Amino acid sequence: MKCMHCSWVIASIVLVMGCGGGQSAANAPAEAPSAAPTQQPKPAEPEAKPEPEKFDVDFVEAKPSAAVDKPPRVTIDVPGFNQFLPASLVANTRIRFKVQGFSDAPEGSYLQFILDNKPFRPVTDPNEKIMLTDLAGAEGLADGEHIIAAFMSYPTHEAIKSEKGIAVRRFYVGKRSDGGWDSNRSPLLLLASPHGTVAEDPIVDFVVLNASISNSEYSVRTVVTGPGIKPEGIQRVITDWKPWVILSARDGAEYKVDMQLLDPSGEAVPYGAVSRTFTVKRP
């Protein structure tokens, strides 16, 4: 009797466990994955402030080269004084010039031609054949007045200054015009250097005809602009016929020089303005 009662109890327990009570592991709901922790955005890094531009380029008087004992003498025969050239003959016009004492100049000196204040490349052979169109370049020569000049320069690109070391001729192409530059009395300013590409601190030098440079006479107002210089440029009023130099010019940078010849009262002089752009490329 006792054994039958025990069997019934055990069977009841088994039945209850099989039919109800708990759920099997297979039917148990999956636990929701835990959410990833929220990442806070990193604070934006402050933008680096650009370094202020350094204005450390200067324009100062340079030490002149030692004067030569016998300055070279330069002459231009063609074009001649006030010569008229028909436009059809310009292409065949050869510049006839002479340089006495070329070999006596310091080693590395050269002849510099300037046509309408545009410089030609240095000429190192006084016998070189140079055509007028070589100086004119791709732009050619317009009808009217033109001024050609030639002078010797030191290796430093400073003009060799002497009374007979500079030759200047006015000539006409296509048509003549009244007035203009008078070779006997009209002042004339020529910018000798720099031009093109220079490899070191640029020498700024000029040539003046029919005018004396001093505190009480004519002067040359010069403005230099470019990198390392304040927007208004560096301005100097030059009262002595000496070269100047641009110090600490940036490598690979372009600079500009503007010159204006002023009369004793400070007024601008005709044929006294020149502007030139050049590049510094250090080795």
pLDDT at 24: 46
Strand partners, 234: 224
153 in Cβ contact with 140 (< 8 Å) = no
**Cβ of 278: how many Cβ atoms within 10 Å?**
22
Q: pLDDT tens digits for 86-137? A: 999 999 999 999 999 999 999 999 999 999 999 999 999 999 999 999 999 8
Contact between 62 and 245 under an 8 Å Cβ cutoff? The reply is yes
Q: Is residue 125 part of a domain?
A: yes
Task: Please say whether the beta carbons of 102 and 126 come within 8 A.
Answer: yes
Per the domain annotation, does 191 fall within a domain?
yes
Whole-number pLDDT of residue 31: 58
Nearest C-alpha neighbor of 275 from the set 59, 115, 118: 118
pTM exceeds 0.85 for this model: no
With a cut of 70, list the residues of the chain below it in pLDDT: 1-39
**Structural contact between residues 116 and 135, judged by C-beta atoms closer than 8 angstroms:** no
On whether residue 14 sits in a domain, the answer given is: no
Q: Are 143 and 179 in contact (CB under 8 A)?
A: no
For residue 30, being part of any structural domain is answered with no
Q: Which residue has the tokens 């070589």?
A: 134
Rounded distance, CA 21 to CA 4, Å? 25
> Which structural domain, as residue segments, surrounds residue 114?
58-280
* pLDDT tens readout for residues 67-83: 888 999 999 999 999 99
Q: Could you give the CA distance from residue 248 to residue 213 in angstroms, rounded to a whole number?
A: 27
CA 200/CA 245 separation, integer angstroms: 10
From the list 161, 210, 221, 219, the residue with the least C-alpha distance to 187 is 210
pLDDT at residue 153 in the model: 96
Q: Residue 47: its pLDDT value, please?
A: 76
> Does a structural domain hold residue 218?
yes
- What pLDDT shows up at residue 35? 58
Residue at token pair 């000029």: 206
Q: What is the pLDDT of residue 2?
A: 45
Cβ atoms of 227 and 253 within 8 Å: the answer is yes
Secondary structure of 257-271 in the HEC alphabet? EEEEEECCCCCEEEE
- Residue 53 located in a structural domain: no
pLDDT recorded at residue 37:
63
For tokens 């250090």, name the residue.
282
In the chain, the number of structural domains is 1
Q: Is 34 part of any domain?
A: no
Distance of CA 27 to the CA centre of its chain: 84
pLDDT value at residue 48 = 73
Q: Give the contacts of 107 (CB within 8 A, at least 6 positions apart).
A: 155
Q: What's the pLDDT score for residue 46?
A: 74
Question: Does any domain span residue 205?
Answer: yes
- Please give the DSSP secondary-structure letter assigned to residue 12: H
Place of tokens 């059809």: 88
Q: What is the C-alpha end-to-end distance of the chain, expressed in Å?
A: 120
> Residue 53: its pLDDT value, please?
81
pLDDT value for 33: 57
Here the CATH number for the domain that contains residue 250 is 2.60.40.10
pLDDT of res. 34: 59
